[in-house]
């Protein structure tokens, strides 16, 4: 899959939903309230590492993709990254639950790409109907600096390589 967005392009406008971390979420008796994140406003002037997964809590995403980003969080920050975000087609409550399960507390934002709208604009949606998943985000990673793409790679097959934490760190 070749994305329609390329290095040097400005990212298209996009609004994600997410549930910001708050202490009342810690005991898991609250769900939080989703808010909107307008990337054109929030990410202007910032260095952002964004990676996308087909689904929260799914085997490769949960075991192999997100954990290295958590483990290497300080390395990303040391390279000047302002925001690290994971995107999936799951709703904001599921993404928040995944983030709470992983103890992220907004160190890594868990963003919902509702109906895969933003990823589709980039040519990065994936039809997983054969697995009863419907349309999802492809597994990809981007480095965005002041809304301009500096790195974009899509996994060529199963597993995590070009969208993983080590590959992205090497490009910063």
Classify burial at 170, counting beta carbons within 10 Å of its beta carbon; exposed 0-12, middle 13-18, buried 19 or more: exposed
> Is there a contact between 3 and 75 (Cβ–Cβ < 8 Å)?
no
Q: Measure the N-to-C terminal CA separation of the chain; round to a whole number of Å.
A: 23
- Among 25, 61, 88, 160, the active-site one is 61
The answer to whether 76 and 70 are in contact (CB under 8 A) is: no
In angstroms, the CA 92 to CA 37 distance is 12
Catalytic residue status for 61: yes
Give the catalytic positions in this structure.
61
């Amino acid at each position: 899959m070749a994305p329609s967005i390329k290095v040097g392009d400005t990212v298209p406008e996009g609004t994600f939903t997410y549930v910001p971390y708050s202490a009342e979420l810690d005991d898991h008796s609250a769900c939080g309230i989703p808010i909107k994140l307008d990337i054109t406003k929030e990410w202007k002037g910032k260095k952002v590492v964004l990676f996308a997964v087909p689904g929260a809590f799914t085997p490769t995403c949960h075991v192999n993709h997100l954990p290295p980003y958590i483990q290497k969080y300080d390395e990303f920050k040391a390279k000047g990254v302002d925001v690290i975000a994971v995107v999936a087609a799951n709703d904001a409550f599921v993404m928040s639950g995944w983030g709470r399960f992983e103890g992220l507390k907004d160190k890594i934002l868990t963003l919902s790409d509702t109906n895969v709208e933003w990823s589709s604009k980039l040519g990065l949606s994936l039809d997983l109907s054969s697995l009863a998943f419907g349309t999802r985000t492809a597994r990809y990673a981007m480095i965005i600096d002041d809304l301009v793409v500096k790195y974009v790679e899509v996994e060529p097959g199963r597993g995590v390589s070009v969208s993983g934490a080590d590959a992205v760190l090497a490009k910063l």
